[in-house]
């Protein structure tokens, strides 16, 4: 069995090269660049230590990036004002909120974003459009999983996909997207007794359940593709996924640890990809 460990760099790198090539081809037509505004609600907004992944990746791709750092004490009204200004700002093509957001702010933030600039794909209007396949933005984490599957070049038609978890950013949107690609989907929102058996039926297993090393090699169908979007932080600060990686590599054909390794570069690349989409529709 030729197993293959996929890295974020590998999958994301391909997309980044596509973005760079596209922008290069536009270079002669316009001086404008894609603009992304990031809302970050931080414990300590004055701390200069954090360099955001968006800033780094944006620089690499030649984007205009603005990070708006807000304290968790910021009122909902203030956040709405900041977002409204960015909604109207022509330099800004995408507006993205870093997660996690404090619960009491999440609703206000998500719904204030103009659905046409919602590059994180979390606005209910964009989530609702996933149904019929006409969504303008796909939630970026789900898009990252799709991108990884696309990278493996395996057809999805007729495949059995098992999704462990029920988040709004991975399992729920993915379920709808994979149905459109003619896969049969099983969603396990919680731990059930026959979980190992359900997992073994999967040609594609996607987990985000947040149970460190729950999924053993024996739970995986030989030759399956496994995406591990689960992430748990251990006491020593290390990140652990849901899958016992060394065992999975013995059984699966593809293993993609999305979250627990270089946390989130691919997801950010998807935010950039979505931002490019709005940029292109506005400028070309």
Could you list the residues that contact another protein (CB under 8 A)? 123-132, 134, 157-158, 160, 166, 168, 172-173, 175-176, 179, 182-190, 192, 194, 198
Min dist. Cβ of residue 126 to another protein (A):
7
Residue 57 or 175 having the CB closest to another protein = 175
From 241, 242, 234, select the one nearest 262 (Cα to Cα): 241
Min dist. Cβ of residue 83 to another protein (A):
18
Min dist. Cβ of residue 219 to another protein (A):
15
Residue 61 or 135 having the CB closest to another protein = 135
109-118: long-range contacts, CB 8 A cutoff, minimum separation 24: 109/39, 109/41, 109/79, 109/83, 112/79, 112/80, 112/83, 112/84, 112/87, 113/83, 113/87, 114/87, 116/278, 117/86, 117/87, 117/92, 117/93, 117/278
Q: Bridge partners of 207? A: 164, 228
Residue 65 or 169 having the CB closest to another protein = 169
Residue 37 or 183 having the CB closest to another protein = 183
Min dist. Cβ of residue 44 to another protein (A):
30
Residue 198 or 239 having the CB closest to another protein = 198
Residue 131 or 218 having the CB closest to another protein = 131
SS3 helix, strand, coil % of the chain, rounded to 5? 40, 15, 40
Q: What number of other Cβ atoms are within 10 A of residue 63's Cβ?
A: 22
214-217: long-range contacts, CB 8 A cutoff, minimum separation 24: 214/242, 214/243, 215/164, 215/242, 215/243, 215/244, 215/248, 216/244, 216/247, 217/244, 217/247, 217/248, 217/250, 217/251
Residue 71 or 182 having the CB closest to another protein = 182
* Residue 9 buriedness (CB in 10 A; 0-12 / 13-18 / 19+): middle
Min dist. Cβ of residue 181 to another protein (A):
8
Min dist. Cβ of residue 179 to another protein (A):
5
H/E element holding 204? Answer: strand 204-207
Min dist. Cβ of residue 160 to another protein (A):
8
């Amino acid at each position: 069995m030729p197993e293959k460990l996929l890295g974020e760099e590998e999958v994301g790198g391909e997309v980044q090269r596509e973005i760079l090539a596209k922008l290069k081809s536009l270079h002669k037509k316009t001086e404008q660049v894609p603009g992304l505004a990031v809302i970050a609600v931080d414990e300590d907004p004055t701390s200069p230590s954090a360099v955001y992944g968006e800033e780094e990746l944006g620089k690499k791709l030649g984007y205009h990036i603005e990070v708006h750092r807000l304290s968790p004490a910021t009122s909902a009204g203030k956040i709405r004002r900041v977002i409204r200004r960015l909604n109207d700002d022509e330099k800004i093509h995408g507006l993205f909120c870093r997660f996690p957001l404090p619960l009491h702010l999440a609703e206000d933030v998500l719904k204030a974003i103009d659905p046409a600039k919602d590059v994180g794909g979390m606005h209910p209007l964009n989530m609702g459009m996933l149904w019929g396949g006409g969504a303008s933005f796909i939630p970026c984490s789900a898009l990252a999983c799709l991108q990884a599957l696309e990278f493996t070049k395996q057809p999805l038609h007729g495949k059995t996909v098992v999704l462990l978890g029920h988040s709004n950013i991975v399992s729920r949107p993915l379920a709808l997207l994979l149905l459109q690609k003619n896969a049969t989907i099983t969603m396990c929102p919680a731990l059930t007794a026959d979980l190992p058996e359900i997992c073994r039926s999967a040609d594609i297993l996607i987990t985000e359940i947040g149970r460190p090393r729950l999924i053993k090699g024996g739970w995986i169908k030989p030759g399956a593709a496994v995406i591990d979007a689960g992430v748990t932080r251990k006491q020593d600060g290390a990140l652990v996924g849901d899958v016992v990686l060394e065992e999975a590599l013995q059984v699966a054909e593809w293993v993609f640890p999305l979250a627990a390794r270089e946390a989130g570069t691919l997801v950010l690349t998807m935010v950039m990809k979505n931002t490019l989409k709005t940029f292109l529709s506005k400028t070309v």
